[in-house]
Structure 1
Amino acid sequence: MHIVAQTPRFVIRNFSPEEEKIYLSLFDDEEVTRHLPKRTRDENRRIFRDGLHDYAAGKVLGRWGIFNNGNEEFIGICLLRPYDGELNKIELGYVLGRNFWGKGIAGEMAQIMVAYAFTHTDATEIVGVTTLENVASQKVLQKAGLERLDNMIRDGEELAFFKLIKTVQ
C-alpha cells in the first residue's frame, strides 16, 4: 500500500479495491456533500475505480484516503489534480467525514498536500476552490498558505478562489 504521508494522527495513502464501500459512504451524508459537485453514486464509483487505475499507472497526482493512524478508521479523502488542464497548476481538494470536522485534520492535511505537490511535481501554483458559503474550508486553504483572490465562475456557480505561488529558493 503506497503511503503519501503519515503523521502521528493520520496516514494519507492509496485506497485498496476493498475500500470502495467506505469511500462511497462518505457521500451518503448530505451535510458532507453540501459544498461538493452533485454526483450520482455511479459517478463516485467510477471516480474511485479510475483512481485505482491511476495508482497502477504510477501517477503522482490523484485521490487518496485519509485514515486514522491508530485504528485505520476512515477520515476522508484528499486530492491533487491538474487545474484547468494546466500541468503547472495543481488543485487541492478534500472531503472529511462530519465527525472529523473541527479537529485540525483538514489544515494539517492541506499543508502536507501543498508540500507534496511542490516536491513531487513541476507545479508552480497550488489552487483551491470552495463554495462561497464554505468558510471553514476557506480558512483551511488560508492556513495552508493559499491567498484568496477574486471569485471565479465554474459551471455557472460563483466560487471562492485561492492560490499559492511556489517561491524560488
Structure 2
Amino acid sequence: MHILYQSPKIIIREFLPQEKQTFLDLFKDEQVTQYLPDTSPERYVEMFNELLENYEKKNLSRWAIFSALDNGFIGMCVARIFVHNTSQIEIGYVLSREYWGKGIATEVCKALTQYSFTATETNEVVAITDLDNTGSQNVLQKVGFVRLDNLVRNDEELAYFKIERI
C-alpha cells in the first residue's frame, strides 16, 4: 500500500480493495455531499473501481485519508488533470462531518499541492468549490491559493482558485 503523505495527525494513502464500502459510505451523508455535483450511487462505485486502476497505472487518483492517531476514516482526496486546462492539476477533498473544523482540510490541501508539484510537471494547481462553500474557500486561501474569476461548468457557476509553483 502506497502512502502519499503522513503526519502525526493524518495519513493519505491508497484505498485497499476491501475498503470499497468505507469509500461509498462517505457519500451517504447529505451534509458531506451538499456542495458536490449530483452523482449517482452507481457512479461512486465506478469511481472506486477507477481509483484502483489508477494506482496500478501510477496515475493521479483519489486517495483515502485516515487518522494517524486511531486509524479512523476521515475521508478522501483527489488530484487529477483539470478538464478545463490540461496543463493544470485540480485537487479536492471530502471529509466526514466529525472531522470538520480540525485543520485537516488545510493539511490535506497543503499535502496535495506539494504532491502535485513534486509528482507532475505542472506549474499550476487549481481547485473549484460551490459558491456557497465558504469553508473550503477559506481553506484554499489559507494555503495560498488565489481566487480567480468564477468558472462555469455544466451551467453552474463555481468559485475558482489557483496556486503556482514557486
Pairs aligned (count) = 166
Q: Is residue 116 from structure 1 mapped to residue 112 from structure 2 by the alignment?
A: no
Contact 1:78 1:95 survives alignment (8 Å):
yes
**Match of residue 75 from structure 1:** 74
**Match of residue 92 from structure 1:** 91
Matched residues in 2 for 1:53 and 1:26: separation?
20
Moved more, 83-92 or 131-140: 83-92
Matched residues in 2 for 1:43 and 1:71: separation?
30
TM-score (ref. length: structure 1): 0.95
1:118 match: secondary structure? helix
Per the TM alignment, residue 85 of structure 1 is displaced from its structure 2 partner at its CA by 6.1
Matched residues in 1 for 2:165 and 2:56: separation?
29
Matched residues in 2 for 1:70 and 1:96: separation?
16
Contact 1:87 1:123 survives alignment (8 Å):
no
2:27 match: secondary structure? helix
- Where in structure 1 are there 5+ consecutive unaligned residues? none
Percent identity over paired residues: 44
Contact 1:114 1:144 survives alignment (8 Å):
no
Contact 1:149 1:163 survives alignment (8 Å):
yes
List structure 1 segments (4+ residues) > 3 angstroms apart after TM superposition: none
RMSD over aligned CA atoms reads 1.0
Q: Is residue 132 from structure 1 mapped to residue 124 from structure 2 by the alignment?
A: no
| Post-superposition CA distance 1:126-165 (Å, at most 9, x none) | 0010011000000111112110111110111011010112
